[in-house]
Amino acid sequence: MGDVRIGTSGWSYPSGPGTWNGIFYPSRRSQPAGRLAKADELAYYAEHFDTVEVNSSFYRLPDPAVARKWAAQTPSSFDFCLKLFQKFTHPAMYMKGAEARAGGEEGPIPAVTAADVDAFRRSIDPLCAAGKLGALLLQFPPSFRHGDDAREYLAWLLQSFSDYPAAVELRHRSWSDHQQDVLALLQARQAAWVQIDEPKFRFSIQQGQQPNLGSLHYMRLHGRNAEKWWTHDHPDERYNYLYSPAEVDGFADTVRRVRELVQTIYVFMNNHFAGKAVANAAALRHAVGQPVPGEYSDEMLARYPFLEGITSRAGGGMLFD
């Protein structure tokens, strides 16, 4: 039976309409001095889950000192899956940010180089040295479509990071329309094809939740808020979706089936609005027969009453000693 690790995409949502503060994380104003400073959020999260997907590595290269601190703040059995830096997968987004930092000066999108690969490698070395790198996530946007150049670039990228377990998230339907070619490419590079749950549109990738490797299976559950997916007042609204008990049971069925075929399974809830990812991840742990450790605040239990009976209010067991 495979090792099943269930967590959330990111652990720090300090502001905005979808903040976790005062919901999953106890309100700092109501806690004794030093009870839960921002720097302690990861340690608090690690009392509840044994893995997390790092979002911040998509927006900037991790500072090795910060990565070293992440390793120190978490137990030895905890691991991190990291998103690859946006320059590799979202070049237009990367350039927009670079132009903003340069005061609006436009320029051509630079080619990704071996030096960029080395820089990212150095930034995550502390996690690798601590044995806490679960997988590297290569997340591509819907604008990344299947074609000869795209396949060639993806193959180069996977070869460049071949030292790490890798998972590839593709969103445009052209990739599933050429399923056999894509499977052959990923198989040759021993990369998992990320299985995603999200609102479906005519150009959305079509998937069946089947693993393509015996070593790694990777699921990302983004929620199904189709109404706010493209049009919203705040980016958090896209992920304002709570999976129903029946939907969670459906994911649990998939996990039970896949764990008989695959060594390691990662499932990350990305419906992060107001701690909904935490609530659904805890419910999924329970549904697949795992304990649901850690303490949950009164506010969390009031918002998500299905957590009553499977979680602890205070003084509950911790995932790690």
Backbone angles phi, psi at 315, to 5 degrees: 70, 15
Long-range CB pairs of 95-98, under 8 A, 24+ apart, other chains included: 97/59
* Predicted TM-score (pTM) of this structure: 0.91
Say whether pLDDT at 315 is over 80. no
What does the alpha-carbon distance between residue 198 and residue 223 come to, in Å, rounded to a whole number? Answer: 5
User: What are the angstrom distances between the C-alpha of 258 and each of 81, 222, 236, 262, 288?
Assistant: 19, 20, 31, 6, 12
| DSSP string for residues in 160-202 | HTTTS-EEEE--BHHHHHTHHHHHHHHHHHTEEE-EEE----T
From the list 10, 67, 3, 60, the residue with the least C-alpha distance to 220 is: 10
From the list 16, 51, 21, the residue with the least C-alpha distance to 35 is: 21
**Tell me, what's the pLDDT at 202?**
92
Terminal Cα-to-Cα distance of the chain (whole angstroms)? 25
The residue with greater pLDDT, 66 or 103, is 66
Backbone angles phi, psi at 214, to 5 degrees: -90, -10
Q: What is the mean pLDDT of residues 194-201?
A: 96
**Tell me, what's the pLDDT at 283?**
98
What does the alpha-carbon distance between residue 97 and residue 76 come to, in Å, rounded to a whole number? Answer: 36
**Tell me, what's the pLDDT at 35?**
47
Q: Of 9-23, 27-41, 132-146, 284-298, which range is least confident?
A: 27-41
Q: What is the mean pLDDT of residues 259-277?
A: 97
Share above pLDDT 70 across residues of the chain, in percent, rounded to a whole number: 89
**Tell me, what's the pLDDT at 321?**
31
**Tell me, what's the pLDDT at 217?**
98
The CATH class that applies to domain 3-307 reads alpha beta
**Tell me, what's the pLDDT at 317?**
40
For 103-155, how does the pLDDT look when each residue is reduced to its tens digit (9 = 90+)? 555 555 568 899 999 999 999 999 999 999 999 999 999 999 999 999 999 99
Domain positions in the chain are: 3-307
For 79-110, how does the pLDDT look when each residue is reduced to its tens digit (9 = 90+)? 999 999 999 999 888 776 555 555 555 555 56
- Altogether, the residues listed in the chain come to a count of 321
